[in-house]
Amino acid sequence: MNNFLSKIKFILRKPKIIVVTGQDRAFTKEAIFKVLAPYFKVGKEILIFEVDLDSDKEAKKFKFFIKNSSLPILVATSGKEMSEISQLVQIMSSSGFLIFNFDNEESRGLRGFKNLKNLSFGFQENADFRVSDVRVNGGVNFKINYKGNIVPIWLTDPSKEQIPGVLAAISVGITLGLNFVEVAEALKNKK
């Protein structure tokens, strides 16, 4: 009964939902929270979940949330669970967003899927959010190129391997209308 009431409450509120799947999903979720928290009511108007799509129960649970959200955003940091990701993408409305790691060959197959709006991130030339000039010196700094705009990002703690999670967070922030300056400021002290 409690689960039923929770679902009714969710349908009435219709929050935006961000579902993060793939490797480093916990770090990516935390980075997304860090970007969005200064500008949105995370937990009320925007819900962020990390999901292990290897579990059928988890995949079924999130189908409901994605289908009934005012703006579903699916973030795929890797393409390991491609069949499950494809199932979630198929139920998303055309107003939804798919954000994926362009460096992962399996994930690239998601580009242009079912008329969804999509953004890619990575180190490769054709990624929408492309990283360059990575330097590790007491922190990590790099440049991001998006639509001809180049923005430097400074992080005090993460390793180079966590850059894809940071790129996913930046992509989500831009998707929700934040500008590069706001996103870079929110990430400046990311630990």
- How is residue 41 written in tokens? 């009511």
pLDDT tens per residue, range 135-186: 888 788 899 999 888 888 888 776 777 888 999 999 999 999 998 888 888 8
| This model's pTM is above 0.85 | yes
pLDDT tens per residue, range 91-140: 777 788 999 999 888 777 777 666 678 899 999 988 999 999 998 887 88
- Main-chain dihedrals φ then ψ at residue 109, nearest 5 degrees: -65, -15
Interior CA angle at 32 toward 125 and 12, to 5°? 120
Enumerate residues 6+ apart whose C-beta is below 8 A from 60.
Answer: none
Helix residue ranges, H only, the chain:
2-13, 25-36, 56-67, 82-91, 105-108, 163-175, 180-187
pLDDT tens per residue, range 29-88: 999 999 999 999 998 899 999 887 766 666 677 788 888 889 999 998 876 666 677 777
Compute the distance between CA of residue 178 and CA of residue 170 in angstroms, rounded to an integer.
9
Enumerate residues 6+ apart whose C-beta is below 8 A from 58.
Answer: 51, 52
Of 156, 157, 184, the C-alpha closest to 170 is 184
